[in-house]
Amino acid sequence: MSNNFSAPRKLHWILLSAGVVLVSGCSRSSSSTAATGPTLPAGAQCILKSPHLEVGASSDLVVNGVTYTKTHQPDAPGPIELPITNPGPQPAGACRGNSQYQFGSGLYDITGPLGGNPTGHADFYGNVFPPQVPEGIHTRLYARAYAIASPCNGKRVLFISQDIMGVSVLERQTILARIAADPVLSQYYDSNNLMISGTHTHSAGGGFGIALGLPDLSATLPSLINTPALWVTSAVIGNNNFDADNFKVIVDGVVQAIRRAHANLETHPEGASIKLSIGQLLNANINRTPPGYQQNSSSERAAYINQDGRETNVDKRFLQLNLVRNNGSVVGVINWFGVHPTSMGNHNLLTSSDSKGYASLGFEKLMGTVYAPDGAGPLSGTDNFVAAFAQTDEGDSISDLFVFDKDVNGGNGPGQGVPIQFRGGTDDPYNFNQPGYKRGMPKATAISGTKQLAQALTQMAQGSALSGPVDYRYFNADFSADKVTDPVVLASLSYADLPANLYTPTKTTCTSAAGISQLNGGVNGLDFGAAGYACAASAPSPYLSQVRNGYNGLYNGVGHILAEKYDSHIEVPFNAVVAFDALTPALCLLTATLPQYGCQAEKPISPISLPGAIPSASPIPIQIFRIGNLAILGIPFEVTTMSARRLRKTVLDALSPVGVDTVVISGLSNDYQGYMATREEYTAQMYEGASTTFGPWQLAATQQESRKLALTMANNQAAPNGIAPPSASTGPASPITVDAPANFGNVVNDVLSNHTQGDTVDVSFVAGYPGNDLKTMSSYLYVERKNAQGAWNVVATDGRPELTFIWNSNPSFLNSEMNMAGSSTAQALWKIPMNTPAGTYRIRHAGVSRLSASQAPTPYEGISSTFKISGTPAECP
C-alpha cells in the first residue's frame, strides 16, 4: 500500500510551547500558495500565548505545585496527509480551474431542556453509565450551517455541524421534510446535498431519535410496575427515551441556521476563493487504546513515525476551510480535527458543547458574532462570522494527555499512574464527594478548546485556493450482509507480516451487535465493565498482560456500579474482570450458535444486543461532497485513526484522477451507527472493536461502498440506487412540568458587595422550571455593567463558559410522577475574567414560571444587588 502523505514541507508558524505546527496546504491545482488571508482579530494574541498551550508540552505534570509524572512524552512533528502532488486533470468544462465560489454561513441555538428524567426529559446522551441528568448550562449548544455553491455548474452543498452527540435518521428526515415544505429552500437543497454532522459532545441532551440500545421495559410490564421499575433503572442507566421538546429545539435550530446560511449566500452572489489550510496540531490528542492500534501491521504503522522516532498513533492533521469575501469580510471557518469532546467528564451535569464548542464560541467572540433570535438576527443576509470545529476521525482519540503516564515512582499498574482528576492536566473535581463535582471539568475543557482555537487562528490567514466544481453524491448502503467483492478493496485488506488466518475468504458484514467490552467505556469515561474480552486468541500482538496489569488499570473497570439519584450515590462493588472471565465463554458459545451473529468472529455479543433487545439497523448513509480539489466523506461512524487512513486513501484513489487531491472524513454524519475499527484492531475487542457493530469487515464494506459512490462522482454518473432509509417517527409530547407557588425572582443568596478580577460572583434566585422557556437565542442569566448614563449594558450571558447557570431543584419520585418541579433556585456563578474593567455590576435572572398545565407560562425577573469590581484589568481574560 502507498500512503498519500508527506512530512511537513513548509512551516509557516511554530508555537513551540504548544507544539503547534502550521503547514500551508499546497496543490498543483491550487491557484495560490501565498499567505494572503485576513489579519488576526483583536484579542487573538491572548489565545496564542495562553498558558493552556503549554499543557502536555513537557515531560512533567505539575498541578498546584505537586508533580504527578515525569515521564510524559510530548508530541514531535511527524508525517501528516497533505494534498497529493499529482492528481489527474479536472474534467473539461466551465468548472475546470474554477476558483470562485459563493458561500454563506448561519448559526442558531439548539440548547435543550434541563431536568432530565425526573422532569420527563432525556438525560445527556453519550455516557450511559452513570446517568447524567442536566442541571445547568456551562455553554449553550448551536447548529452551524454553511452553504457553498459553484456558479460554474450551478451546484451547491449544505454542511451543518451541530453541538450534539450525533445525528439520528429521525432528525435528518424531519429537517428534510421542513426543507421540502419551504418554497425557497426546497429549490436548492434535498437529501443529496445536505450533510449533518455532530461534534459528539457527551454533555447534550438525548431523546432525539438515537436509541440507547437497552430493553424497553414498558413493552412488557404493566404501568403500575413499569413506572417504579423505570425510576429505579434510571438511577444506574441514562434515560434517553424520545424527548419532544429537545427534538423540536434541535430541528428548529438546524432549520434556522440553514435559512440564515442560505440568505447570507443569496445576499452575496459575487464569487470569492475558499482557502484550504492544513496544519499539524501537537499535544492536543492521544490514542486511548494503544493495545488496539498495535494490532495493525507493523509495516503500516512504520509509515507514521515522528521526528523523535515514535509512532504517531493518532491523527494530528488540522484541516481548515477559510471563507473570506474579496472585500475582506470573514464569513466563517470550518475545520476538522479528530478528538473526543469529552473533556467535561462523564460525571458532569451541565449542558456543554465541550472543547469543540468552547473553541467555536471563543473564535466567534473574537470576531464579534451576533447571537440574535428571530426578528433580530442576520436573516437579512449580512455576514455574521460562524466557526465550526467539526468532527472527523476521533474514534480512538482523546484529549486526556496524561492518562497512561507513570506516576513519580514509575508505576503504571492498577491503582498507580496519574490520579484521574489530573489526567486532563488540571485539578478539576472528578469524584462525587469533591466540591464542584457536578460542574464537570471546565478547566480541562478550556485547555483542549484553547489549543484547537489557537490552531484555527493561525490557519485563518493561511492556505491555498480551492479549484474545481462543487458536486455531491449520496446513497444508503445495505450493511445487513454486505459481501466485500470489489477487487481493489480486497487487494488492500491483508498484510504479509500478519497471520493469514485473519483474512477469511468470505468477508461480509453481520447483523449489528455490540460486544461485552463496550461496557468498559473509554479510558476518558470509564464504566463498570472490562475490555479486551474475545472469543478467539487471534490478536496479532499480545495485549492482555498490558490491559490487565498496566495502563493504571484503566481497562479493568471502575470496580463498582454507581447508582445516582437525587444527589444520592450508592456504590455497589463489581469486579468486572472476575465477572467477565466467567461470562465470556457462555456469551461466545451463544454468539456462535445464533446464525445472524456467527460472522462477528472474536466478539462476545453483549446481552443487550441479543434478539429483541435492540433493532438491527442496516441502511448506512454514505455521502461525498466535492468542493474543488477537496472531498468530504460523510459517514455515520466514529472512525479509528488507522481506519480513517485506509478509508481516505480508498476515496482519494477513486477521485484523484479527476483532480481531487485531499479527502477529509466528516464523522457522525446523517445517522449514528457506532464505531469503526480495522480488522486487526477488532481482534483485541477493546472498546472500539466491541463497538464496531457490523463485525470485523465493517471497514472493508465501508471502503467498498464509499469507493462505489466516489466512482460515480468521478465518472459523472448518478449515485447507486442503494436501499430505502428506515422509517422513523416521533414519540409522544414531553410532559408539562409545573412549579410550586413561590416568590419567583426573589434573591435567595445575594452577591458580595466587592470583587476583583479573578473572583467568582455567586448569587441565586427563587426560580421556575427552566423548561417553561428554553430561552433559545437568549439567556437565563445576564451580567450587566452600569454605563455613564446609568443604564445597564450586558457583558455576559449563560452561553459563555465564564457564566454558569445552575438549576438547583428538589426532585423526588412523587414530584416526578406528578410532573412537578418542586421548589428550586437559579444559581449564577460568574468567574470574572482578568481583563474585566472596574465598575458597578449586577446579575439579572430572566425566568418563566408555570403553576398549572392549563395556565400560560408567566415571565419573571430577578436582580441581584449591585457590586463593585476594583483592580486594574489585565491584558487577557
| Residues 708 and 789 occupy one common structural domain | no
What single string gives the DSSP state of each residue in 197-229?
A: EE---SSSB--SS---S---GGGTS-HHHHHHH
Contact 647, 612 (CB under 8 A): no
- What pLDDT is stored for residue 110 in this prediction? 98
Residue 482 lies in a domain: no
First to last CA, the chain: 49
- What pLDDT is stored for residue 232 in this prediction? 83
Among the ranges given (349-358, 540-549, 610-619, 721-730), the one the predictor scored with the smallest mean pLDDT: 610-619
Residue 258 lies in a domain: yes
Angstrom distance (rounded) from CA 576 to CA 215: 22
- What pLDDT is stored for residue 648 in this prediction? 98
Residue 226 lies in a domain: yes
Among the ranges given (37-46, 104-113, 273-282, 628-637), the one the predictor scored with the smallest mean pLDDT: 37-46
Structure-model confidence comparison of residues 282 and 726, the more confident one: 282
Contact 184, 260 (CB under 8 A): no
**What percentage of the chain has pLDDT greater than the value 90?**
83
**What pLDDT, in 10s, does the model give residues 443-493?**
999 999 999 999 999 999 999 999 999 999 999 999 999 999 999 999 999
Residue 596 lies in a domain: no
> Is 72 annotated as ligand-binding?
no
Q: Residue 38 in 3-state DSSP?
A: coil
- What pLDDT is stored for residue 16 in this prediction? 31
pLDDT over threshold 60, residue 23? no
Give residue 26's pLDDT band: very low, low, confident or very high (50, 70, 90). very low
- What pLDDT is stored for residue 337 in this prediction? 98
| Residues 55 and 173 occupy one common structural domain | yes
Structure-model confidence comparison of residues 65 and 17, the more confident one: 65
- What pLDDT is stored for residue 39 in this prediction? 86
Residues 6+ apart with CB under 8 A from 829: 760, 761, 762, 803, 804, 806
Residues 6+ apart with CB under 8 A from 225: none
Amino acid, res. 243? D
| Residues 707 and 792 occupy one common structural domain | no
Average pLDDT of the chain to the nearest whole number = 92
- What pLDDT is stored for residue 28 in this prediction? 30
pLDDT over threshold 50, residue 578? yes
> Is 638 annotated as ligand-binding?
yes
**What pLDDT, in 10s, does the model give residues 651-665?**
999 999 999 999 999
Residue 569 lies in a domain: no
Among the ranges given (28-37, 256-265, 290-299, 818-827), the one the predictor scored with the smallest mean pLDDT: 28-37
Angstrom distance (rounded) from CA 875 to CA 877: 7
- What pLDDT is stored for residue 130 in this prediction? 83
Contact 495, 300 (CB under 8 A): yes
pLDDT over threshold 50, residue 115? yes
Among the ranges given (520-534, 538-552, 768-782, 811-825), the one the predictor scored with the smallest mean pLDDT: 811-825
Residues 6+ apart with CB under 8 A from 630: 276, 321, 466, 660, 661, 662, 663, 664
pLDDT over threshold 90, residue 373? no
Give residue 238's pLDDT band: very low, low, confident or very high (50, 70, 90). confident
Contact 668, 200 (CB under 8 A): yes
Among 671, 695, 714, identify where a domain stops: 714
Angstrom distance (rounded) from CA 60 to CA 66: 10
**What percentage of the chain has pLDDT greater than the value 70?**
93
Domain extent for 762: 747-870
| Residues 703 and 759 occupy one common structural domain | no
Average pLDDT over residues 556-584: 93
Average pLDDT over residues 19-36: 38
Structure-model confidence comparison of residues 73 and 36, the more confident one: 73
- What pLDDT is stored for residue 566 in this prediction? 83
Angstrom distance (rounded) from CA 370 to CA 799: 12
Instruction: Indicate the number of domains in the chain.
Output: 2
Average pLDDT over residues 52-76: 97
| Residues 761 and 702 occupy one common structural domain | no
Among the ranges given (410-419, 767-776, 806-815, 843-852), the one the predictor scored with the smallest mean pLDDT: 806-815
pLDDT over threshold 70, residue 220? no
Give residue 37's pLDDT band: very low, low, confident or very high (50, 70, 90). low
Give residue 776's pLDDT band: very low, low, confident or very high (50, 70, 90). very high
**What pLDDT, in 10s, does the model give residues 722-731?**
999 888 889 9
| Residues 697 and 818 occupy one common structural domain | no
> Is 340 annotated as ligand-binding?
yes
Give residue 126's pLDDT band: very low, low, confident or very high (50, 70, 90). confident
pLDDT over threshold 60, residue 5? no
**What pLDDT, in 10s, does the model give residues 664-687?**
999 999 999 999 999 999 999 999
Among 665, 694, 714, identify where a domain stops: 714
Among the ranges given (697-706, 720-729, 823-832), the one the predictor scored with the smallest mean pLDDT: 720-729
**Residue located via cell numbers 430541528:** 251
**What pLDDT, in 10s, does the model give residues 158-217?**
999 999 999 999 999 999 999 999 999 999 999 999 999 999 999 999 999 987 655 555
Nearest Cα residue to 669 out of 162, 81, 103: 162
Among the ranges given (36-45, 451-460, 498-507, 711-720), the one the predictor scored with the smallest mean pLDDT: 36-45
Helical pair 442-460 and 354-366, crossing angle rounded to 10 deg: 50
Q: What angle do CA 220, 223, 225 make, to 5 degrees?
A: 80
- What pLDDT is stored for residue 300 in this prediction? 98
pLDDT over threshold 50, residue 22? no
Give residue 752's pLDDT band: very low, low, confident or very high (50, 70, 90). very high
Q: Left, alpha or beta for 415 (phi > 0: left; psi -120 to 50: alpha)?
A: left
- Reading the block at residue 543, the C-alpha cell is 495485549
Give residue 596's pLDDT band: very low, low, confident or very high (50, 70, 90). confident
Residue 516 lies in a domain: no
**What pLDDT, in 10s, does the model give residues 285-337?**
999 999 999 999 999 999 999 999 999 999 999 999 999 999 999 999 999 99
| Residues 36 and 102 occupy one common structural domain | yes
Helices (H), 436-575: 442-460, 487-491, 544-549
- What pLDDT is stored for residue 19 in this prediction? 39
Which CATH number belongs to the domain containing residue 848 in this structure? 2.60.40.2300
Residue 626 lies in a domain: yes
> Is 845 annotated as ligand-binding?
no
pLDDT over threshold 70, residue 591? yes
Cα-based distances in Å from 193 to 160, 200, 475, 860: 11, 22, 11, 44
| Residues 73 and 171 occupy one common structural domain | yes
Average pLDDT over residues 24-40: 47
User: What's the distance, CA 73 to chain centroid?
Assistant: 26
Among 714, 731, 766, identify where a domain stops: 714
Give residue 772's pLDDT band: very low, low, confident or very high (50, 70, 90). very high
pLDDT over threshold 70, residue 14? no
Contact 249, 574 (CB under 8 A): no
pLDDT over threshold 80, residue 808? yes
**Which phi and psi angles does 855 have, rounded to 5°?**
-100, 150
| Residues 695 and 770 occupy one common structural domain | no
| Residues 701 and 797 occupy one common structural domain | no
Residue 775 lies in a domain: yes
pLDDT over threshold 80, residue 15? no
| Residues 381 and 425 occupy one common structural domain | yes
| Residues 357 and 424 occupy one common structural domain | yes
- What pLDDT is stored for residue 784 in this prediction? 98
